[in-house]
Amino acid sequence: MTSERTELAANLARVRERIDRAASRSARHPEDITLIAVSKTKSAAQIRALYDAGVRHFGENRIQEREAKLGHLSDLDATWHMIGHLQSNKSAKAVRLFDTVDSLDSVALAERLDRGKKDFNTEVTEGTEKNREERKGSAANPTAPLRVLIEVKLDPGESKSGIRAEDLAPLAHAVLPLPHLNLRGLMGVPPYFDDAEQARPYFRRLRQLRDAIRAETGNHLLPVLSMGMSHDFEVAIEEGATEIRIGTALFGEREKA
Ligand SMILES: *Cc1c(COP(=O)(O)O)cnc(C)c1O
């Protein structure tokens, strides 16, 4: 176990070093780039090792998996990101388990999350919260609006989550008035390229979409661009990423599902 903890800390140091270099190449500050450790398929012990080494943001892509690990991690003061496709019937759970939903991709989901957050807040303020132990342990104000990012589909060939670029403005306009959601920006996943340089136009496009939607919604700031994974995060940083989602480079390879 000790050697695994050492290895994870060394992986983290290498990733931080790469972030620093990419930031200085693009005249940016490394503190302006949030590292999200994507811990899907990884154990609570591995997550804790990275937490102890200084990581404060973690990403999971399945409700059940987050639930399964929660009991082992509820003492961590971390920010938990939902980064996978979320079914709207899981909204009530999602608002208890996550601080931010980075993969918002429909009006229906936004409305369910808003309602789920409202109900949750009522339980917290009235002290009638059921299943208190199911709630994430973060110290953030539990009744603050739920942070969300809209996921834009950057890869037309992939039919996974995310909305089409042409649906972005209508979705943003539907989300902004919802009182229990706080729209902060966009997330995107470009196609996989062996040469990460080829992902650059996709990252650039996400940034341009953000700039366009900012103008279109009356300069609502939308400061967050969540883009870049283990194999392409340096290019994403050069193109303006404010959050990068790193699994393999921190934890090592995942078992294939
Ligand atoms: C798995 C996953 C990641 C991390 O991928 P790595 O290549 O292991 O860094 C990032 N973002 C999303 C949405 C993921 O599902």
Amino acid at 89: N
Say what the pLDDT of residue 2 is.
73
Return the SS3 of 257: coil
Say what the pLDDT of residue 140 is.
67
Say what the pLDDT of residue 159 is.
61
Taking the centre of ligand 1 as the mean of its atom positions, its distance from the CA of residue 119, in whole angstroms, is: 31
Taking the centre of ligand 1 as the mean of its atom positions, its distance from the CA of residue 229, in whole angstroms, is: 6
Domain locations along the chain: 2-251
Ligand 1 in reach of 15 Cβ (< 6 A): no
| Signed CA dihedral, 182, 244, 93, 91: sign only | positive
Mutation choice for ligand 1 from 161, 229, 237, CB with most ligand atoms inside 8 A: 229
- Cα 149 from Cα 181, distance rounded (Å): 10
Instruction: Indicate which atom in ligand 1 lies nearest the CA of residue 83.
Output: 13
Encode pLDDT of 28-61 as tens digits: 999 999 999 999 999 999 999 999 999 999 999 9
Q: Is the pLDDT of residue 256 over 90?
A: no
Rg (CA), the chain: 18
Ligand 1 in reach of 252 Cβ (< 6 A): no
Residue 100 bridge partners (DSSP)? 81, 147
pLDDT band for position 158 (cuts 50, 70, 90):
low
Say what the pLDDT of residue 172 is.
96
Work out the mean pLDDT of the chain and round it to a whole number.
93
CATH topology classification for 2-251 = TIM Barrel (3.20.20)
Q: Is the pLDDT of residue 10 over 60?
A: yes
Q: Is the pLDDT of residue 160 over 80?
A: no
- Cα 197 from Cα 200, distance rounded (Å): 5
Taking the centre of ligand 1 as the mean of its atom positions, its distance from the CA of residue 200, in whole angstroms, is: 17
Encode pLDDT of 108-155 as tens digits: 999 999 999 999 999 998 888 776 666 665 556 888 999 999 999 998
- Are 251 and 211 in contact by the 8 Å Cβ rule? The answer is no
Say what the pLDDT of residue 155 is.
85
Encode pLDDT of 88-102 as tens digits: 999 999 999 999 999
Encode pLDDT of 65-74 as tens digits: 999 999 999 9
Ligand 1 in reach of 83 Cβ (< 6 A): yes
Mutation choice for ligand 1 from 38, 83, 155, CB with most ligand atoms inside 8 A: 38
Encode pLDDT of 213-242 as tens digits: 999 888 778 999 999 999 999 999 999 999
